[in-house]
Structure 1
């Protein structure tokens, strides 16, 4: 508004000055025309100019003199003579003077009357112009501070109303802790970025609450497993040392302790693998791996375990299937999938492992006739710390990390993993690896 006020003031000042100058030029033309139209012998020149002044009373000052400055006609209402400019003024010369407290716009020009050149001085009051300019100036000087005050007050009010939802969100967020993640931020119905921000944060809190609940459950489960393991080993050792026992009894005790140590070692391996998956800067060495041979060796190692449970472990492995990967991680992937199939398949059940390679890539299937997975849990089984079996059975419940680790291994190899299951036919896990690029350079197996 300040810029608009300055522009308006100077534009109006220039426009008013230009308007008065045009008016004076028109009066000059009328004077020359009036005098030159009269017969030469009719009246003296001063008399004709006087008659013109009577016809045009709007002139406040009107004077005519010869080129030497001798007055032919004196100014009306004049208190003093106005000096002639230093220039010839063949074209109109304009100036501003003050006469008796009045501001006047003055036109001075050499004109031709009755064939002779004379100096014409013509002026008109412009007090009303400056009155208008003062009114414009004063109006802006009053309105700008008022507008500034209103703008600041309105801005503060709007800012307060705009930030109020954020203040409510902040106050609510301050009451949320890791021990109570059930609270949610208030979502204002504004349809703007603040509403989207609140919604996004609530979604984040929901995911965080789910993760914390799973982590809490996982911690409880792991604590239970470790405590059970230590209790079994301690009890077995205490009973064994109370009195002399036979070699067979000592062997049985050692077998029990060995089994518990193996279970604990497997649990720690899972935890280490999960920690490795969280590493930001992983440097996993990839090389050309004979995947069909690795799969065959791993399945052979599991056949003895399957026979103990009276299960049938069958394979259909296409030979000479190679993929670019890490040998240790791929062996662990196979172990996790086959171990789960054996674990959740009852006696007399069947497990089928197949491997095939085509133009679309290499596909691994692990199919079992086990207890299956509920449809609402299929999408969660690859989440870390998630257990389908909530009873924490050490033989079947697992650590809740196996499938999460399997998914991480598959992703490291740029592949994909999916699961299908129902309570009747069991579960099917499918792993898809990308097509092997012929441009890959060979390196030793890792």
Structure 2
């Protein structure tokens, strides 16, 4: 018995099913592709915007920063990290520019003096003694330039933060006594009595070279401005968990209008009681060294009665991260 069945209907159904599956599959692929593109744009778009904004930053516009509010929340941390790096870079560039400005400001005059003296010596034949005198002037000017360069380097190191400073255990009283002793001949020559108080040891953690410079600058100023018959006293002590260095003099004192600026770079007091000597960097260096050691400096002064500079910093084992010995 033969049974026949028309297959055309089945073939059409299978063709329709294949067409449906192909259309559905293609649509799913296109939909997935579209969603993938949208997702990639939503994720990478803020990164591209951040990259484009970062590319517009220039050394002349170091105040600009990336705005975390313009990107998705997940990228806020990245923007803040980049801004932190830009802050450090900006600070480094500011220090570099300030150093270059300070150097050009202070070295311009001695360089001009050197050139003028050399031109004067070469203008006509001179005696041996005249050449000697000219060379002495040149040597003095070169010494001033060396002092300026050393002071500027000390300021630059202090500006760069305490990372470049040694953190050695030492006794502040010994550093103060050693630095003050360097000025004993100068004080004696000027008729000034230099007193160094001997007390209990004052242990601190710090950079011995820079702390020596700190004391030297304070004592140098005190001896320089104290008239014959006056007294300069240096004392290191431990008070309430702090190490205190006090340098006091019986000099002309400092007027109130100057007290707020004496730690500024290149600030010099020019009046009848003070002759403008030096570059006006000594106290700026002192302030930078004190801050680099996490300390503070105070000054008390009255015209005609003298001045008292007091430096305070942590005793070793009292908030400085060191251990008491």
Q: CA-atom RMSD, angstroms?
A: 5.3
Q: What secondary structure does 2:314 align onto?
A: strand
What's the counterpart of residue 417 of structure 1? 295
TM-score by length of 2: 0.59
Change in Cα spacing, 1:158 to 1:222, as seen in structure 2 (3 Å) is: same
> What are the equivalent positions in structure 2 for 1:91-110 lying under 5 Å apart?
none
Question: Contact conserved, 1:218 with 1:400, CA < 8 A, in 2?
Answer: no
Q: Which has the larger radius of gyration?
A: 1
> What are the equivalent positions in structure 2 for 1:40-439 lying under 5 Å apart?
146-147=27-28, 149-189=30-70, 192-240=73-121, 242=124, 244=126, 253-270=134-151, 291-302=172-183, 315-321=196-202, 328=209, 330-339=211-220, 342=222, 353-357=234-238, 360=241, 363-366=243-246, 370=254, 371-373=258-260, 387=265, 389=267, 395-398=278-281, 402-403=285-286, 406=289, 410=293, 416-420=294-298, 428-435=310-317
Higher relative contact order (CA 8 A, sep 6+): 2
Give 1 or 2: higher helix fraction. 2
Q: What secondary structure does 1:235 align onto?
A: helix
- Tell me the CA shift for residue 173 of structure 1: 1.9
Query: 1:297 and 1:187 mapped to 2: Cα distance?
Result: 53
Give 1 or 2: higher strand fraction. 1
Query: 2:115 and 2:231 mapped to 1: Cα distance?
Result: 37
Q: What secondary structure does 1:266 align onto?
A: helix
Aligned residues: 284
Q: What secondary structure does 1:188 align onto?
A: helix
Change in Cα spacing, 1:186 to 1:213, as seen in structure 2 (3 Å) is: same
Query: 1:284 and 1:217 mapped to 2: Cα distance?
Result: 24
- Tell me the CA shift for residue 222 of structure 1: 0.7
Q: What secondary structure does 1:232 align onto?
A: helix
Query: 1:404 and 1:147 mapped to 2: Cα distance?
Result: 71
Q: What secondary structure does 1:419 align onto?
A: strand
TM-score by length of 1: 0.46
Q: Which consecutive unaligned segments of at least 5 residues does structure 1 have?
A: 1-100, 102-134, 411-415, 440-446
Change in Cα spacing, 1:283 to 1:161, as seen in structure 2 (3 Å) is: closer
Question: Contact conserved, 1:336 with 1:403, CA < 8 A, in 2?
Answer: yes
